[in-house]
Chains A and B, each alone.
Chain A
Amino acid sequence: MEQFMQQMINGFSLGSIYALIALGYTMVYGIIKLINFAHGDIYMLGAFAGFFAISAFHLGFIPSLIISMAICALAGMFIEKVAYKPLRTAPRISMLITAIGVSLFLENGGLLVFSPSIRTFPTIFPVKTYSIFGGIVKLTVKDIVVFLVMIVMLIILQYLVYRTKIGKAMRAVSFDKDAAGLMGVDVDTTISYTFAIGSALAAVAGVLVGIYYNSVWPLMGIMPGLKAFIAAVLGGIGIIPGAVLGGLMIGVIETLVAGYGNSLYRDGVAFAILIIVLLLKPSGLLGKNEREKV
């Protein structure tokens, strides 16, 4: 029982990070039907931005988080402008291939600029463990921070999407880009904002990972990027609550497989889930079966 509760905590912390990355995938897919494979590398950029803000400029957690979010938002918008916008009318596969190209560019550029060696995040939260439920479960300060930040980000995102004008525009564009344009919605700006918000969320995940596991390196985005993609598909790609549900589920499933089954199969199970979802319910857990609009 003790071990089970501890594994659930491990799973939720890991899942929160997947969820934050998955949100970016889902939002971008929702609005321009693009699987943005460069998203995992934006997460890496965010981790490095946070690393430099904390270790070189000695900023606190919150300012570093905000700076990292701003840098990644700009990077996301820039990438969209340079790499994806010229292809908006091209076949969807062109944009997908471009996304892979951008991903490789960021990874190898990162190797060149940041050097391939691993950097260690300074410790900014006290290493302290709380025992709850009479010592059954141990929570570290870092666990609590990761979980709280994820919840706060989710609330802000919900507010942005459902209570603001830009959110309304985003929903309109995702529903029907052309009609939204005709109704006076600035489609380009809306898409730009979507990339900015998605990338800022990836930056949050990057900084949290840096703090949680205290290490960053240029290729750190590949695996979490793939896992978050699976999470987005599992929850239903294009659906915001689906990304969070998928992220938490992947985190918990992985943890349980490693903790009770065979740690050899941990990654395999995540990809098996992707295959099963695509075979049985391609629209994901929260997706409705829609007929393709013709």
Chain B
Amino acid sequence: MKKGLLAILALLMVLSLVVAGCGGQQAQQSQGGGGSSGDTIKIGANFELTGTMAAYGRTSVNAIKMAADEWNAKGGLLGKQIEVVEADNKSLPDESTNAATRLVTQDKVVAIIGTSASTTTLGMVPVVQQYKIPTIATTATNPDVTVDPKSQETYKYMFRACFIDPFQGVVGANFAYNDLGARTAVLYIDEKDAFSIGLAKFFKENFEKLGGKILSEEHYVAGDQDFRSTLTKIQSMNPDVIYEPGHYQETGMIIKQAREMGITTPIVGGDGWDSPDLVKIAGAENMNNVFMSNHFIPSDPDPKIQNFVKAYKDKFGEMPDAKAVLAYEAANIMFTGIKNANSTNGDDIVAALEGLKDYPGLTGNITFDKQHNPVKPAIIIEFKNGEQVMRGRVNP
């Protein structure tokens, strides 16, 4: 009997080694040629490849590789081929610090693209500042990503490809007050999520400035499954709109439970909702009178976007989400910056990025402001039976 147990334990250990080994191999493969041969330009991609936000990372890395392939097919960058080096931050801020350090010190990348979440980006800011590596975050919308919250100074090497939370909160409030005609609102916030809290704050400020009234602020924690008690309370207050700036997982459950309880109030949120999983979780029949602000909509008639959507779909067999679009955008901006700088020196690239004027991106013409944020519009999407319909484009 004892022997049997030992055998099982040994088997488990071997299995875990094999699994760990696989991960290592993948990392090595993506490092490819490696070394300091100098015939490629290495660009780091620090993303959420595993962990709770794994869905964000995969599509982002796909899109960056697609952008690199396109540039390489046209002769590469500064006469060299672009090589994308992946690093997994496991959806955790401290792992993101490690991943960025590895990219810089071991893989010797000249620039980094990533991450797709504010928390993980904040984890790598000190690293890229220290080593002077220009970095573009894809969908990190928290203002602190490019600006030191204490000194209010802009981080020299940090840029982003997306709009920021204050703008998104303002867009949400304007839309609720003017378009939906809402005068009373309830906020329903993920109490542990910086993104959710920030967005709710900016929504509240602006909604009250417009003359609206916030009836109550309710909270949940990521990972909760039961929202019915709070929803029953919200139902009894009968607001004109529910603003729920969370992520797709809980949002899906909230919308489903609310609609099943007979709450027909419009529900509005931000780009954290953006995932095909949202409709799967909520159920298409419940996704009515639901609105979100986002960076992009696949059905946008703009031919640039349609070309991208088609190319991505042909290559990966699925529709791109906003994470993919902004990763593609960030990669192209970075490559353009390096090309304009005609150098791989960090300071030169930063100067080139700061000097970009109306770069024609997929999600608008991009010029960086003093805080290294692009000035560009947001899109309001309405869900009709689970289908995304473009409701409007809001300029800053």
Are B262 and A120 in touch, CB under 8 angstroms?
no
User: How far apart are B256's CB and chain A's nearest CB, in angstroms?
Assistant: 7
Within 8 A of A (CB), among B258-298: 260-262, 277, 280-281, 283
Are B54 and A115 in touch, CB under 8 angstroms?
yes
Q: Which residues of A contact B219 (CB under 8 A)?
A: 262-264
Are A120 and B281 in touch, CB under 8 angstroms?
yes
Are A116 and B52 in touch, CB under 8 angstroms?
yes
Is B218 in contact with chain A by the CB < 8 A criterion? yes
Are B54 and A86 in touch, CB under 8 angstroms?
no
Residue of B nearest to A214 (CB): B256
Is A67 in contact with chain B by the CB < 8 A criterion? no
Are B280 and A120 in touch, CB under 8 angstroms?
yes
Contacting residue for B224 out of A140, A214, A223, CB 8 A = A223
User: How far apart are B343's CB and chain A's nearest CB, in angstroms?
Assistant: 40
Q: Which residues of A contact B261 (CB under 8 A)?
A: 138
The secondary structure that dominates the B interface is helix
Residue of A nearest to B218 (CB): A263
Within 8 A of B (CB), among A99-129: 111-112, 115-118, 120, 123, 127, 129
Is A49 in contact with chain B by the CB < 8 A criterion? no
Q: For the complex, what is the distance from the CA of A145 to the CA of B376, rounded to whole Å? A: 50
Is A10 in contact with chain B by the CB < 8 A criterion? yes
Chain A proximity mask over B222-264: 1 for CB below 8 Å, otherwise 0:
0111101110110110000000000001001100110011100
Is B383 in contact with chain A by the CB < 8 A criterion? no
Q: Which residues of A contact B5 (CB under 8 A)?
A: 81-82, 86
User: How far apart are A125's CB and chain B's nearest CB, in angstroms?
Assistant: 12
Contacting residue for B230 out of A11, A214, A219, A258, CB 8 A = A258
Is B73 in contact with chain A by the CB < 8 A criterion? no
A219 and B51 in contact, given A117-B277, A255-B229 (Cβ under 8 angstroms)? no
Contacting residue for B50 out of A11, A116, A118, A263, CB 8 A = A116
Residue of B nearest to A17 (CB): B226
Q: For the complex, what is the distance from the CA of A192 to the CA of B256, rounded to whole Å? A: 40
Are A259 and B262 in touch, CB under 8 angstroms?
no
Chain A proximity mask over B129-162: 1 for CB below 8 Å, otherwise 0:
0000000000000000000000000000000000
Within 8 A of A (CB), among B203-220: 218-220
Chain A residues bordering chain B, tally (CB within 8 A): 43
Residue of B nearest to A14 (CB): B226
Are B281 and A11 in touch, CB under 8 angstroms?
no
A264 and B191 in contact, given A11-B229, A213-B225, A255-B229 (Cβ under 8 angstroms)? yes
Are B229 and A214 in touch, CB under 8 angstroms?
no
Is B8 in contact with chain A by the CB < 8 A criterion? yes
Is A23 in contact with chain B by the CB < 8 A criterion? no
Are A263 and B226 in touch, CB under 8 angstroms?
no
Within 8 A of B (CB), among A247-269: 254-256, 258-260, 262-264, 266-267
Is A74 in contact with chain B by the CB < 8 A criterion? no
Residue of B nearest to A222 (CB): B223
Q: For the complex, what is the distance from the CA of A45 to the CA of B111, rounded to whole Å? A: 42
Are A7 and B191 in touch, CB under 8 angstroms?
no
A215 and B253 in contact, given A3-B232, A209-B225 (Cβ under 8 angstroms)? yes
Are B19 and A112 in touch, CB under 8 angstroms?
yes
Q: Which residues of A contact B249 (CB under 8 A)?
A: 118, 215, 217
Are A118 and B281 in touch, CB under 8 angstroms?
yes
Are B277 and A118 in touch, CB under 8 angstroms?
yes
Are A10 and B232 in touch, CB under 8 angstroms?
yes
Are A267 and B221 in touch, CB under 8 angstroms?
yes
Q: Which residues of A contact B262 (CB under 8 A)?
A: 129, 138
Within 8 A of A (CB), among B37-55: 50-52, 54-55
Q: For the complex, what is the distance from the CA of A129 to the CA of B283, rounded to whole Å? A: 17
Q: For the complex, what is the distance from the CA of A111 to the CA of B50, rounded to whole Å? A: 9
Contacting residue for A7 out of B224, B229, B277, CB 8 A = B229
Q: Which residues of A contact B224 (CB under 8 A)?
A: 223
User: How far apart are B58's CB and chain A's nearest CB, in angstroms?
Assistant: 10
Are A258 and B233 in touch, CB under 8 angstroms?
yes
Contacting residue for A260 out of B50, B220, B233, CB 8 A = B233
Q: For the complex, what is the distance from the CA of A53 to the CA of B228, rounded to whole Å? A: 27
Q: Which residues of B contact A86 (CB under 8 A)?
A: 5
Is A189 in contact with chain B by the CB < 8 A criterion? no
User: How far apart are A249's CB and chain B's nearest CB, in angstroms?
Assistant: 15
User: How far apart are A110's CB and chain B's nearest CB, in angstroms?
Assistant: 13
Q: Which residues of B contact A254 (CB under 8 A)?
A: 229
Is A6 in contact with chain B by the CB < 8 A criterion? yes
Q: For the complex, what is the distance from the CA of A219 to the CA of B235, rounded to whole Å? A: 30
Q: Which residues of B contact A11 (CB under 8 A)?
A: 229
- Greatest chain B CB density within 10 A among A127, A209, A214 is at A214
Question: What 7 A-B pairs come out closest when comparing CB atoms?
Answer: A255-B229, A258-B229, A213-B225, A264-B219, A10-B228, A263-B218, A259-B229
12 pairs, CB–CB < 8 Å, chain A vs chain B: A3-B236, A10-B226, A14-B229, A81-B5, A115-B54, A117-B55, A213-B253, A215-B253, A222-B223, A256-B229, A259-B229, A263-B229
Beyond A115-B54, A258-B230, 10 extra complex contacts between A and B, CB < 8 Å: A3-B233, A86-B5, A111-B50, A123-B283, A214-B281, A254-B229, A258-B229, A259-B230, A260-B233, A262-B219
- B-side residues, CB < 8 A to A, are 5, 8-9, 19, 50-52, 54-55, 191, 218-221, 223-226, 228-230, 232-233, 235-236, 249, 252-253, 256-257, 260-262, 277, 280-281, 283
